[in-house]
Each structure stands twice: as structure tokens, then as C-alpha cells.
């Protein structure tokens, strides 16, 4: 018996029906390459391993690694490491295939895992993630709603997100304080043409000043009024009013001044 560690954000899924539904939703086919993030005690793993031989699991907790190796033996390829240190690009090149990713994600590193995936988007076909319900709602939120924010912009820029189903907090041990949801992120093959780092900086800078106009957020980066006046974009709006495509357009118009400003976010 593995006692959940609060420091690792462990809430173990114990509902086999939920696990089966997640695995069924993946619609795994011959030739798919699957990576599971944080299998823990193997609630998903025991169903996944029956579906595909091309299956890699990444687990940090040595106790869970020992249990998984005891349970599945050589039938499971297992990496004991922090998933955020794994290069999906290298793995995809070795396998000459893009990954389907699945996992029950610890709440406290949801954003880090999302950006880890987005940074390696060319190596990922899709990601099916169990996350906090509130976060799943942000992934799919529309402009001008309370949930709409940075996660909405980035997830919708790089992927086509879909909230598949909600999961009761009672499906986990220990029982978390919030409900969860399973979200599917299908990664786009053809992304809008833009400088992605610059685009991200524009989004972060303006949402950092969410209650102010776009102009105020951009001036925080160092753009001058003259530069902002020259681009022909309505900067009296607020960040939550812009769609991902609007942000691509805005970053494209500002690109000419990129070398004159600070990019605070890498």
C-alpha cells in the first residue's frame, strides 16, 4: 500500500469505471505511441497496457516505480524521472512517431505540464488529461467570460481542446477538495504563422494587466505610444476580449518593434 504524498500532489484514482472511460476515449489504434504521465499505482496503466505495446510510462515516485515493476514486469517500459525533464522531441525522433499522452495530472503542476507539452507540440498528436474541473473549463473558455485567460489562449492556439466528462472528487484517494474533469487536447498540425515566443510574451504581458487596456499592458513591455499608435489595432480593448487569432494578429503587427522592448517571459 502506497500512502499518498502531499508533496507530490498525489490523489490516486480508484474508480475503475472512470479509468475504463478514459482509456476507451483514447480510441487507441495499432501503431499509436502512448506516454502516460505519473501512473502512480497503475489505475490507468492496467487498462492501457492491454491496448498497445508501444507504451511508455514516466513516474517520479520510487515507491510507485517499484509497485509498477512488480505488477507489470518487463511488459511496461518505465522511466523513473520528473516528466518535465523528458524530451518528447527526442523520444519522437527515436520512434519516428508522435505521441498520444495521457495522465491524471497533479493539480499543482498542471500549468507546467501544459507548457511542457506546448513547447514540444511537434512531438504530440493529442493529450488526454485529468485535471481540476476549473482548469479544464479554462482550456475551453470563450472570450469575454470569467474563465477565459492565458491557459485558454495558449491551449486554443496550439490545440483544439474539448472537455470530455467531469469526474467526482469521490473517485480519488485521498478525496480532493474539488472535482476534476478529463480534457482532450488535439494538437494542430498547421499553426498560425507567428513568432511563438513573442506571441506568448504579448499574451502574458497584457493578461498581467487584465483590468487595464491592452495599451497599458504593452507599455509595461516597453512599447512607446508612437509605436502602438502606428500599428492600426484597437488597443482600448481589454485582454479578455481578444481571441487567440486576435493575439496572433496583434503580435504580428508589433513584430517590427520586437528588438526595442523587453521580453520578460521565456
**What is the architecture of the domain spanning 196-260?**
Orthogonal Bundle (1.10)
Residues of the chain with pLDDT under 50: none
Smallest CA-to-CA distance from 88 within 109, 118, 49 is with: 118
pLDDT of residue 5: 67
pLDDT of residue 215: 94
pLDDT of residue 4: 59
- Residue spans per domain, the chain: 6-187, 196-260
Ramachandran area for residue 69 (φ above 0: left; ψ -120 to 50: alpha; else beta): alpha
Cell of 206: 497584457
CATH number of 6-187: 3.40.50.150
Smallest CA-to-CA distance from 195 within 112, 146, 253 is with: 253
Q: Which are the contacts of 66, defined by CB distance < 8 A and separation ≥ 6?
A: none
Burial 80-113 (b: 16+ CB within 10 A, else e): eeebeebebeebbeeeeebbbbbbbbbbebbeeb
Burial 199-236 (b: 16+ CB within 10 A, else e): bbbbbbbbbbbeeebbbebbbbbebeeebbeebebebe
- Cα dihedral 154, 113, 196, 203, rounded to 10, equals 40
Smallest CA-to-CA distance from 126 within 152, 93, 158 is with: 158
pLDDT of residue 6: 67
pLDDT of residue 260: 87
Contact of 60 with 85, CB cutoff 8 Å: no
Cell of 133: 474541473
pLDDT of residue 143: 96
Contact of 100 with 128, CB cutoff 8 Å: yes
Amino acid at each position: 500500500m502506497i500512502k499518498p504524498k502531499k508533496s507530490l500532489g498525489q490523489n490516486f484514482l480508484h474508480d475503475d469505471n472512470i479509468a475504463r472511460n478514459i482509456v476507451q476515449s483514447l480510441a487507441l489504434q495499432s501503431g499509436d505511441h502512448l506516454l502516460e504521465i505519473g501512473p502512480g499505482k497503475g489505475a490507468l496503466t492496467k487498462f492501457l497496457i492491454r491496448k498497445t505495446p508501444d507504451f511508455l510510462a514516466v513516474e517520479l515516485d520510487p515507491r510507485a516505480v517499484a509497485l509498477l515493476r512488480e505488477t507489470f514486469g518487463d511488459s511496461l517500459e518505465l522511466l523513473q524521472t520528473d516528466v518535465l525533464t523528458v524530451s518528447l522531441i527526442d523520444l519522437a525522433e527515436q520512434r519516428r512517431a508522435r505521441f498520444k499522452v495521457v495522465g491524471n495530472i497533479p493539480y499543482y503542476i498542471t500549468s507546467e505540464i501544459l507548457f511542457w507539452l506546448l513547447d514540444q507540440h511537434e512531438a504530440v498528436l493529442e493529450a488526454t488529461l485529468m485535471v481540476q474541473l476549473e482548469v479544464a473549463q479554462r482550456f475551453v473558455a470563450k472570450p469575454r467570460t470569467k474563465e477565459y485567460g492565458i491557459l485558454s489562449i495558449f491551449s486554443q492556439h496550439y490545440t483544439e481542446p474539448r472537455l470530455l466528462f467531469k469526474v467526482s472528487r469521490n473517485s480519488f484517494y485521498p478525496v480532493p477538495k474539488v472535482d476534476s474533469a478529463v480534457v482532450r487536447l488535439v494538437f494542430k498540425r498547421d499553426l498560425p504563422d507567428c513568432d511563438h515566443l513573442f506571441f506568448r510574451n504579448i499574451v502574458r504581458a497584457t493578461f498581467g494587466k487584465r483590468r487595464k487596456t491592452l495599451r497599458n499592458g504593452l507599455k509595461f513591455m516597453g512599447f512607446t505610444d508612437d509605436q502602438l499608435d502606428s500599428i492600426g489595432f484597437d488597443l482600448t480593448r481589454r485582454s479578455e476580449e481578444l481571441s487567440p487569432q486576435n493575439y496572433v494578429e496583434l503580435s504580428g503587427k508589433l513584430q517590427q518593434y520586437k528588438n526595442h522592448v523587453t521580453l520578460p517571459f521565456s
